[in-house]
Amino acid sequence: RKEVEQDPGPFNVPEGATVAFNCTYSNSASQSFFWYRQDCRKEPKLLMSVYSSGNEDGRFTAQLNRASQYISLLIRDSKLSDSATYLCVVPRAGGTSYGKLTFGQGTILTVHP
Amino acid sequence: GAVVSQHPSWVICKSGTSVKIECRSLDFQATTMFWYRQFPKQSLMLMATSNEGSKATYEQGVEKDKFLINHASLTLSTLTVTSAHPEDSSFYICSAPWGSGETQYFGPGTRLLVL
């Protein structure tokens, strides 16, 4: 299993739709997880952090299933501005891994009118 | 506002030349910074860890003699792509961790095109 693996996508949804992405991780010792959003030709920006079972922020909900080692991101009432690549990110574990992040390959979301 | 800057934002160079990219933390000191590379339609891949006061550490498969890293001060790390070739064309992004390391500030990236 890859360290971090995401739904291949791409996802094309109409405005107002609900869409969910999944991400699996291989290191059972991982304690924290992140969803980043990356717009074309830009740096990634933090969308949500997940430390326990889940997190909710407005239209965005992230859930963590430690037993199955996956994290999901749910976007409700999609907006055109949600179109971006969503990156699942897991910090590396271990003593020499301070600050090192492993990125999933990303899932492309396109929201159309 | 931006807390990590990169310069230049884009650069075009001829094959065989060297290119230097700067990464600066603007409002905080960063003893550690990271350099990532992103090829088209791929995700970010960690290249190396830049350490102030000591040598950089490189990820497996990244040539340290080709990608020279210098952490000159607590707010500046530079990545020099030596003898650049077209296959080095990519989006280079630096980041600086904060606190426990789980908060990361990313620079805006540098787009390199080698002709």
Residue of A nearest to B32 (CA): A99
Share of chain A above pLDDT 70, in %: 97
Confidence grade of residue B112 (pLDDT, cut at 50, 70, 90) = very high
CA dihedral sign of residues B50, A92, A50, B43: positive
Chain B residues with CB-CB distance to A106 below 8 A: 43
Residues 8 through 37 of chain A touching chain B, CB cutoff 8 Å:
32, 34
d(CA B20, CA A44): 22
Average pLDDT over residues A78-105: 89
B109/A101 Cβ within 8 A = no
Calculate ∠ Cα B103-A67-A82, nearest 5°. 50
Instruction: Write down the mean pLDDT value for chain B.
Output: 93
In angstroms, the separation between the Cα of residue B48 and the nearest Cα of chain A is 10
Are B45 and B51 within 8 A, CB to CB? no
pLDDT at A13: 97
pLDDT at A96: 67
pLDDT tens by residue, A48-79: 999 888 899 999 999 999 999 999 999 999 99
**Stronger pLDDT, B98 or B85, i.e. the higher one:** B85
pLDDT tens by residue, A32-42: 899 999 999 89
Beta pairing, strands A60-65 & A11-14: unpaired
Residue B2 has pLDDT above 80, yes or no: no
A41/B101 Cβ within 8 A = no
Residue A94 has pLDDT above 80, yes or no: no
Q: Is the peptide bond before A10 cis (omega within 30 degrees of 0)?
A: yes
pLDDT at B61: 94
Residue of B nearest to A4 (CA): B43
Residue A97 has pLDDT above 80, yes or no: no
Residues of chain A by 3-state class (helix, strand, coil), percent to 5: 5, 50, 45
DSSP summary character for residue B83: S
Test the B interface: residue of A86, A96, A100, A107 with most B CBs within 10 Å: A100
Beta pairing, strands B45-51 & B32-38: antiparallel
pLDDT at B1: 59
pLDDT at A28: 87
Chain B residues with CB-CB distance to A43 below 8 A: 93, 106-109
Residue of A nearest to B98 (CA): A99
pLDDT tens by residue, A12-23: 999 999 999 999
B42/A104 Cβ within 8 A = no
pLDDT at A92: 85
